[in-house]
Amino acid sequence: MKNIVLVGMPAVGKSTIGVLLAKSLLLSFTDTDLLIQEKYKKSLCDIIKDNGTKAFLDIEENIILEAEFKNSVIATGGSAVFGEKAMKKLKENGVVIYLSLPMEEIKKRIGDIKSRGVVLTNGTTVDDIFAERKPLYEKYADVKIDCDNLTAEECVEKIIADLQSL
């Protein structure tokens, strides 16, 4: 089976849905944010603060390029779509699922964006991040799942149904 790659904005539920999806499909689960934290022994916030956003994006891309994913559900960081080589690798042996939510719901869920380890520059808002990333999520997605008003379990059911129709 191909890998299943989850992309989308921070707080959309990639990790939560990813774990449930992996259990349902008897696959491994990998969260690329956790791979970064394990390698650097720091939180994403600290890595961004210490190295800057450009360096973090390079770190994120390199982690994906170095990793071996097989029979896995992969929850990517929200900024992984900026790494063209990384996304090419993920698409080669994977189906990319874009988990989508309306901006209002993302804002409710995201809380303090600075504590989440989100790549942003001074003065950047959640709206700015969404506007910049949405076209990339759509570019790479093989399937788009609208998660609005759905539980994590319902999102998983929808993903499985869509995968069966591919």
35-73: pLDDT as tens digits: 999 999 999 989 988 998 899 999 999 999 999 999 999
44-51 helix and 53-66 helix, angle to the nearest 10 degrees: 120
84-92 helix and 53-66 helix, angle to the nearest 10 degrees: 20
Q: What's the CA gap between 19 and 164, in Å, rounded?
A: 19
Handedness of CA 150, 156, 161, 162 (dihedral sign): positive
Q: Which tokens go with 24?
A: 């349902």
Q: Which amino acid is at 146?
A: D
| Cut 0.75: pTM above it | yes
List of residues 6+ apart from 27 with CB closer than 8 A: 1, 4, 21, 71, 72, 73
Q: Give me the residues paired with residue 7 across strands.
A: 98
- The H or E element spanning position 3 is strand 3-7
Q: What is the pLDDT of residue 125?
A: 83
pLDDT, tens only, 95-120: 999 999 999 999 888 876 665 657 66
